Structure 1
Amino acid sequence: MDQGNTAFLLIMAALVLLMTPGLAFFYGGLVKAKSVISMMMMSFGAIGLIGVLWVLYGYAIAFPGSEGLVAPWSIDWSAIGLTSLLEVPEDAAFPPLAFVAFQATFAIITVALISGAIADRAKFGAWMIFAAIWATVVYFPVASWVFNFGLADDGSFAYGGWTTYGMQEAFGVGVIDFAGGTAVHINAGAAALALALVLGKRVGFSKGAHVPHNPPFVLLGAGLLWFGWFGFNSGSELAADGTAALAWVNTLAAPAAALLAWLIVEKIRDGKPTSVGAASGAVAGLVAITPACASLTPGWAIVLGLIAGAVCALAIDLKFKFGFDDSLDVVGIHLVGGLIGTLYLGFFANNTGLIYSGDPTQLMVQAIAAFTVLIYSFVLAFAIGWVIQKTMGFRITNEDELAGVDTAVHGEDAYKLETV
């Protein structure tokens, strides 16, 4: 067993776990002062809930081994509760549980991302039920499609999900999604759009009506997300090597460029660059580079960041044009950014992209995977959310929304001003 790679993977897992509290600060700063506890609790609730479900059966669904292609819904029953993974094979590069831990943090952050679309108006209990069902029927299977693959000694696919092994068998190239452009960002963004439609608009929804209550929280959250994202992307190599180093550099370059592009768009459109725009631009770049971080030269990573920052800065206004209330721009940043990063590889991926090979096959398989995940997640998320809304109710009352979600749902206030 390679203790260096084991330590690397465990540290990367810890970095990715930190992303969810970082997301809590990022989202918490963007909402009203009387909704910040509710918003942050949805992220922390995801840590508790998905952490337990992952150990109980999530890993067994997401990583069923060679059965993943033939039966995507199959379960590795020996992995229920993870008891079969306690022993470390003599030839293993790292303990199986280290990989379990790393992938658990992906499941947690993916679920937490969705919550930003329903800020200021969702019941915590309903959110937890949705999160449990969605993770079980959407995230765990989609993770199997994308991340569940094994390699033979010669480096060829031995088995895997349909986006990797299946596409390779059918078209000669598999989908490139190094760290989760499809499984994480498109998946969460599509579900966020569905829930925004199910819950409807906030009271008084209009452009400029809801402003962030704490921009320093937003910047702190973005900083923690960026820090953790180095684990997200570099750690997906599962080894401390040159590919991990490339992923690290691209995880610096793309969001840095996206930050600048977002600020330029703000300056041209609104006359002033904002701190929230800087934070949002960085996150948009991080989203876009996630699937592509190991398959682009740093120069092309900068170009991707510039595109993602500019396009996502414009895309967040789509909710006003089309009339859906995506409270914290999960659709505009994660769905749009995830699509940009995933499709960009069809053109600029090293060796197989269109500009290198002259062959559009990579672009085709990228598009098939991206839009399949989008449709699958949207349809099931909408159905789950609709059933919850019609039974126990997903949205709080308008009266409670105006009074404050924190008090109505949690009986707490984020800020107490005491006079002496």
Structure 2
Amino acid sequence: MLLPLHAFAATPGEIDTGDTTWIIVATGLVLFMHVPGLALFYGGLVNERNVVSTLMHSFVSLLIVSVVWILLGYSLSYGTSIGGIIGGLDYILFNGVGPEAYGSLTIPHYLFAVLQIVYVAITVAIISSGISERISFKAWILFTIIWPIAVYAPMAHMVWGGGLLAQLGELDFAGGTVVHITSGVASLVAAVMIGRRKGYTLEQKPHNVVLFLFGAATLWFGWFGFNGGSALASGSLTSLVVLNTHAAGAAAGIGWLVIEWMMRKRPTLVGTATGAIAGLVAVTPAAGFVSVPSALIIGLIGAPVCYFSIYYLKAKLKYDDTLDAFGVHGMAGIWGAIATGLFASEAVNSAGANGLFYGNPEQVVHQLIGVGVSIVLTVIGTFVILKVISVFTPLRVSEREELLGLDVSFHEEPAYNPEPKQTLATHVK
């Protein structure tokens, strides 16, 4: 019925206060990695004329998606299965979501549901990074309403809600296919459809590395709740998940530092921190199914996968994924999902499965199918959604608004000194 990954200290189906306390903390950690974590991570990378706009994308996605999920999205993910693809309307408006233990879990249904809210909200916020500095705010509002229902909900149902991929045996502990591949691929589709920024170059200088690093550190901190919360209990499995998460992030950060030093003759803080995030993404689907040495390998390989995606694939294809949502989340998510099929071990988690290196090559096939379904659903869904939105409002701001910066041209709220407003406005005229 749920993720096949739980190990319980209490009797299944009865509320356990220790498990409940941990999931409350984990939910708060994921919320914290959304705002301020993701907001500052992206806000520090963009041009100083678009800081407020970037922060707004993250913050508003949290507000809107939370309400959408309560109204309909949660039910479509975890309601009674319809063909193994989407859930029914059992939990519309959170009807039937109460204080009782959810299924065989030892936490209240209320708590399980709110944990799912913060997962989907941060998924949508990641997408905004690929189209920063040019997406129309009206279009973004509509996108945050429709995309969670049309793309995320069926994917979550198929993987975590007892749908087709769960029945197949695909393993996704905390969101490789559900969160990271969907957000990365959606970001790429949107970036291609909306087009490149004016004056786009591959080399983009972050306007504030300090804000960026604070955001990156907050994300790392929150990731313990993101992955650890997916155990849906406290105990030895959760402890392993936290350890695997940290190990993969550290290994990937080192990997990126070495590659960048060799290839570009200097290591950078932005690069090294980006590498660590890539490792955290890569281990997410595997965190509760693999050993610590395997987590190190998954993180270490995640660094070159994302590095070459950003500096070679992106340059070759000339798409403008502003803050590399596809290069980091999409590519690391794909690698992590496949790596789960390589390194998963029932000795680590009996509720999982053995991977290729433990005598079960079929698990790799299951993982590849999950990756393929995630990509196809996201590409088609995102394309159709943006096409529909474009009928009602432009997807992109005007050239003048883009050159002036969205902080001033739309929000009238510059992040720093308001004086450049008149100077910039005069220059653009």
Q: TM-score, normalised by structure 1?
A: 0.91
Q: Which residue of 2 aligns with 1:396?
A: 397
1:356 aligns with 2:358: yes
| 8 Å CA contact retained: 1:198, 1:389 | no
CA distance in 2, matches of 1:232, 1:28: 21
1:20 aligns with 2:37: no
Q: Which residue of 1 aligns with 2:44?
A: 29
Give the total of aligned pairs. Answer: 396
**Counterpart of 2:44 in 1: which secondary structure?**
helix
For residue 390 of structure 1, report the CA deviation from its aligned partner: 4.5
CA distance in 2, matches of 1:418, 1:188: 36
Q: Which residue of 1 aligns with 2:253?
A: 259
Amino acid at match of 2:314: K
Aligned positions of 1:252-401 closer than 5 A: 252-317=246-311, 318-351=313-346, 352-357=354-359, 359-401=360-402
Distance 1:418 1:126, change over 3 A: closer
Aligned positions of 1:55-134 closer than 5 A: 55-64=70-79, 67-68=80-81, 70-77=83-90, 79-88=91-100, 93-134=106-147
Q: Which residue of 2 aligns with 1:8?
A: 22
Distance 1:302 1:137, change over 3 A: same
Amino acid at match of 2:129: G
1:361-383 Cα offsets, whole Å, 9 max, x none, are 00000000111111110111022
CA distance in 2, matches of 1:284, 1:418: 38
**Counterpart of 1:84 in 2: which secondary structure?**
coil
For residue 86 of structure 1, report the CA deviation from its aligned partner: 2.5
For residue 355 of structure 1, report the CA deviation from its aligned partner: 1.3
Q: TM-score, normalised by structure 2?
A: 0.89
1:381-415 Cα offsets, whole Å, 9 max, x none, are 02211332354101111221111111112111000
Distance 1:89 1:233, change over 3 A: closer
The runs of 4+ residues in structure 1 deviating greater than 3 Å are 89-92
CA distance in 2, matches of 1:71, 1:164: 9
Identity in percent: 39
CA distance in 1, matches of 2:145, 2:191: 18
**Structure 1 residue ranges without an equivalent (≥5):** 149-159, 168-173
**Counterpart of 2:371 in 1: which secondary structure?**
helix
Greater Cα offset, 67-76 or 270-279: 67-76
Q: Which residue of 1 aligns with 2:8?
A: none
For residue 93 of structure 1, report the CA deviation from its aligned partner: 1.6
Distance 1:93 1:207, change over 3 A: closer
- 55, 59, 66: which one aligns with 1:44: 59
For residue 69 of structure 1, report the CA deviation from its aligned partner: 5.9
CA distance in 2, matches of 1:259, 1:205: 27
For residue 89 of structure 1, report the CA deviation from its aligned partner: 5.2
CA distance in 2, matches of 1:89, 1:234: 19
| 8 Å CA contact retained: 1:262, 1:278 | yes
Q: Which residue of 2 aligns with 1:170?
A: none
1:45-97 Cα offsets, whole Å, 9 max, x none, are 11100111111111111101xx32635334233x2221422242598622100
**Counterpart of 1:193 in 2: which secondary structure?**
helix
CA distance in 2, matches of 1:117, 1:255: 22
Distance 1:71 1:258, change over 3 A: closer
| 8 Å CA contact retained: 1:69, 1:162 | no
Amino acid at match of 2:201: S
CA distance in 2, matches of 1:342, 1:261: 19
Amino acid at match of 2:390: Q
CA distance in 1, matches of 2:98, 2:395: 39
**Structure 2 residue ranges without an equivalent (≥5):** 1-14, 347-353, 421-429
Amino acid at match of 2:356: L
Amino acid at match of 1:349: A
CA distance in 2, matches of 1:319, 1:229: 27
CA distance in 1, matches of 2:299, 2:241: 14
